[in-house]
Chain A
Amino acid sequence: MAIKNSQNQVPDTGHEWDGIRELTNPPPRWWTIAFYLSAVWVIVYLIIYPSIPLVTDHTKGVIGWTAIGEYKEAVAANDAIRKPYLDKLETMSAQDIINDPEMLNFANSSTKALFGDYCAACHGSNGQGIAGMFPVLLDDDWLYGGTVSDITTTIASGRKGNMPAHTGTLDDTQINLLTDFVIAAAAGSATQEGWDAYQAAGCFACHGADAKGNKWMGSANLTDGIWRFGSDREAVMNVIKHGVNQDGVDGTVDGVMPAFGDRLSTNDIKLLTVKVWSLGGGQSE
């Protein structure tokens, strides 16, 4: 069979390595055209788009496209979608938002960044808190109450707990007895002796006669086991001995919720209230 254009008939450069000849036949014409077109495209691109870095600036390109411009357009498009919701938010109270499923959905999804920026550092990305240090926002146990207005106040004005240290006023036996009582109370098995000690030490003044705490002053409910500063014996005893937020007392536990009223807009506080309320523990007024 006759094969034309075979390698033997094609002129070569005279170079040969191990029997491989370097040929001089040109690439296909369409290939050459495509090659020059690509070169033309480079020039077209240079003219259309920002391309050449200069000393202080860069060439702008004839269509004025920039990456930041495209980004800003995308942001504006996103803002346009959010606008009707945001406008509605302005006029609604936190409770109104909670009552409106669509707005609630919007508030919850649009608060992710806000919650991440201002709350997550202590309360965790999902509100799970940090055991023994920062409160869980997902349960229904609230030191200062879990209604919409309680949560708004907490976020806007902050909270600072206050429990006196008892090392000076009570001896070790009494402290031991009280520690046992608190742990037993959470389990529902407190003895009469324990209740007597509780009365005698004056704990009822803050924690109430039934030891269920007082939302008004943020004292803990001693009959459930959900305690901010830990529920093992050592942690409980430490709180009784050294108190909470006591100036000049060694070993006192710090527990401060900062006030966000000056740092966040009313709208943001409203949104965060909705978010925290709907995490799962929100209570009705």
Chain B
Amino acid sequence: MSEEKNNLENIHNIEKIYNESAEHFDVNLGGKKIHPKKVSGRFRNYKNFAWVFWIGYILLPYLRWDGQQSILFDIPKRQFHLFSITVYPQDIWMLAFLLILLAMMLFGITAIAGRVFCGYFCFQTVWTDWFVQIESWIEGNPTQRRKLDDAPWSAKKIRKKSFKYLIWILISLLTGITFAAYFTDAYQLWVDIFTLQAHLYVWVTLLAFFVGTFLFAGFMRDQVCLWLCPYARIQSVMIDKDSILPTYDVKRGEPRSKAKKGVIDSEHGDCIDCKVCVAVCPMGVDIRNSALQEGCIMCGVCIDACDDIMDKVNRPRGLIRYNSEKEIEGIDLPPVYKRPRVIIYAGISLIAIMAIVMGLLNIPPLAVTVIHERQPMYVTMSDGSIRNSYTFKILNKTPEALNVKISVEGIDGIVMKGVGEFVILKPNKMIPFSVRLEAMPDKVVDKKVPVYFTITTVDSDIKISERYENFFAKP
């Protein structure tokens, strides 16, 4: 009895569902503004988790670590600080592996679940989410927003709009300042900005990010994903028959028909054509047309919305659900770890992770380059010995001055000149110096023989003893 009553109540509520308008377009050609309805549910909550990560992006530069900014890309000094690790351009090969790792993670995730990066994590999605949320706080629900947009200018409209833009501007400014903060001292940056003393680069970066955020998240929204993002194109081609995508269950839903008061229609499918799935879509996509649409960023809010409606009309959830093309055809999806693409992507990712970890654990404290003077290759001295000249470039990557001893071996009676017994390497600096080797020609067995320089630290906690090969030439 009570179940039947509930059912009736729910069907009364359906009226309300239809009363809220929902527009429909496949591709927003730029003439329309999409006002997505707010939704709550499982996937919406996942999206919220993802944006919390971006709060970290805003706060991270203000963290201190070992007495300096936790993350600082110091371009003038060519040093990249990541917590206790300092990376120099000489170690930038790790960046290649980082990019490989990010690409592979993306490919893998796309192969598994389609464009979920776009739907959950992408800054365009996240910032747009924030902007839409602010818009709905100030201007109300989508219907009210559309009305306000169409209404003639009034004091109220101006007040609401300008208040909205003000908050958008503040967020955009914060975004720009945050980005700049990764490249300079974050606290000093605020001082510089408010005293108008900041460097031109800061202003340019700030302006670019400010304008970009304001326009892209505030006005262009879905059109950035559709028209501007090169990345959307790449990601779309990673999807295969195994990828799970938000899919409308056509067999269950069709033929769709409007739900009527108190009537449970057995001839029609479960879709009551309420268009809520369209109304909530930030991209204006009608998921019922096809699972694979260029606009679909696979964020799953249509699933939340539809599940909500199914609950209201007392039908099972999952009319729209994450489903792969294979599953639709009735084929079982192999487990994720048995799919070749996933295995390959995971394998490459693993190699990249190992390379990065190995690289970070073994950053050499010195970057040494020894260049043999080529013009001339050798000089004959008045005592008949042969001299070769070398230029040493040693970058001391440690924060303290190092006292190093340079020795040479490889030829009997070889003599090193040009450097004293010890060389002092200033911290974080590279000053080239010249070293000369002299040997009697009869001790040099060939026109070109290998010689080995050994660089050893002296009286230091940092123990380094590295050998570098070069050659010695004679006439």
Q: Does A associate with B in a complex?
A: yes
- Docked complex: B362-401 residues within 8 A CB-CB of A: 373, 375-376, 379-384, 387, 389
Q: Does A58 contact B (CB under 8 A)?
A: no
Q: How far is the CB of A115 from chain B (nearest CB, A)?
A: 14
Closest A residue to B433 by CB, please name it. A105
As a 0/1 sequence over residues 1 to 17 of chain A, the CB contacts with chain B under 8 angstroms (1 = contact) are: 11111000000000000
Pick from B25, B31, B289, B384: contact of A29, CB under 8 Å:
B31
With CB as the reference atom, state the residue of chain B lying closest to A138.
B379
Shortest Cβ distance from residue B215 to the other chain A in the assembled complex, whole angstroms: 8
In this assembly, does B227 line the interface, its C-beta being within 8 Å of a C-beta of chain A?
yes
- Asked whether A280 is an interface residue with its Cβ less than 8 Å from the other chain, the reply is yes
Interface contact B418-A30, CB-CB below 8 Å: no
| Residues 100-155 (chain A) with a chain B CB within 8 angstroms | 105, 124-126, 128, 136, 138-141
Which one of B29, B289, B382, B389 lies within 8 Å of A3 (CB-CB)?
Answer: B289
Q: Cβ of A268 < 8 Å from any Cβ of B?
A: no
Interface segment, one of A61-69, A73-81, A192-200, A219-227 = A219-227
Specify which chain B residues have a CB less than 8 angstroms from the CB of A139 in the assembled complex: 379-382, 387
Q: Is A167 located at the chain interface by the 8 A CB criterion?
A: no
Residues of A within 8 A of B31 (CB): 28-29
Q: Which residues of A contact B223 (CB under 8 A)?
A: 28, 30
Q: Are B436 and A280 in contact (CB under 8 A)?
A: yes
A176 at the interface (CB under 8 A from B): no
Known: A29-B31, A105-B431, A128-B376. A140 touches B25 (CB 8 A): no
> Is the Cβ of B389 less than 8 Å from the Cβ of A280?
yes
Q: Which residues of A, 1-45, contact B by the 8 Å Cβ criterion?
A: 1-5, 25-31
Contact A138 B376 (CB under 8 A): yes
Q: Give the residues in chain A near B436, CB-CB below 8 Å.
A: 280
Q: Which of A3, A29, A30, A126 has the most CB of B within 10 A?
A: A30
Shortest C-beta distance, A180 to chain B (Å), equals 20
Closest partner residue, chain B, to A32 (CB atom): B30
Q: Tell whether, in the assembled complex, residue A28 and residue B289 are in contact, meaning their CB atoms are under 8 Å apart.
A: no
Q: What does DSSP make chain B's interface, helix, strand, loop or mixed?
A: loop
| Closest B residue to A186 using CB positions | B384
The answer to whether residues A4 and B26 also contact, given A30-B220, A225-B380 and a CB cut-off of 8 A, is yes
Q: Contact at A2–B375, with CB atoms within 8 Å? A: no
CB contacts (< 8 Å) of A27 on chain B: these are 30
- Which residue of the partner chain, among A1, A4, A224, A280, contacts B384 with CB atoms under 8 Å? A224
Q: How far is the CA of A5 from the CA of B31 in the complex (A)?
A: 12
By the criterion CB–CB under 8 Å, are A124 and B418 in contact? no
The verdict on A138 contacting B289 (CB below 8 Å), with A125-B375, A226-B382, A280-B418 known, is no
Task: Please indicate the chain B residues that have their CB under 8 angstroms from the CB of A3 in the complex.
Answer: 26, 289
Determine if B290 is an interface residue (Cβ-Cβ < 8 Å).
yes
**B25: which of A5, A105, A141 is its contact (CB, 8 Å)?**
A5
Cα A137 to Cα B185 in complex, Å, equals 49
Q: Which of B31, B220, B381 has the most CB of A within 10 A?
A: B381
Beta-carbon nearest neighbor of B215 in chain A: A30
Q: In the assembly, what is the distance between CA of A224 and CA of B380, in Å?
A: 10
Chain B residues numbered 14-62 whose CB sits less than 8 Å from any CB in chain A: 24-27, 29-31
Q: What's the Cα separation between A136 and B389 when bound, in Å? A: 14
For B389, the closest partner residue in chain A by CB is A280
Least Cβ–Cβ distance between B168 and chain A, in angstroms: 17
Is B30's CB under 8 angstroms from A138's CB?
no
Give the chain B neighbours of A225 by CB distance below 8 A: 380, 384
Tell whether, in the assembled complex, residue A280 and residue B387 are in contact, meaning their CB atoms are under 8 Å apart. yes
User: Quick check: B376 and A126 within 8 Å, CB to CB?
Assistant: yes
Q: Is the CB of A126 within 8 A of B373?
A: yes
Determine the residue in chain A with the shortest Cβ distance to B32. A29
Contacts of B381 in A (CB 8 A): 139-141, 226
* Cβ-defined partner of A5 (8 Å) among B27, B384, B389, B433: B27
Q: Given A139-B387, A280-B436, do A1 and B382 touch, yes or no (CB 8 Å)?
A: no
State A30–B379 Cα separation when bound (angstroms). Answer: 69
Our pick among A2, A30, A221 for the contact of B289 (Cβ within 8 Å) is: A2
| A138–B387 CB distance below 8 A | yes
Q: Which residues of A contact B30 (CB under 8 A)?
A: 27-31
A128 vs B31: C-alpha distance when bound (angstroms): 73
Q: Specify which chain B residues have a CB less than 8 angstroms from the CB of A136 in the assembled complex.
A: 376, 379
A128 adjacent to B375 (CB under 8 Å):
yes
Closest 4 CB pairs of A and B: A28-B30, A29-B30, A128-B376, A224-B382
Chain A residues close to B by CB (< 8 Å): 1-5, 25-31, 105, 124-126, 128, 136, 138-141, 221, 224-226, 278, 280
Pairs across A and B, CB under 8 Å, 8 listed:
A4-B24, A26-B29, A30-B30, A31-B30, A138-B376, A138-B387, A139-B382, A224-B384
5 extra interchain contacts, Cβ-Cβ under 8 A, other than A136-B379, A139-B387, A226-B380?
A: A105-B433, A128-B376, A128-B379, A140-B382, A280-B379
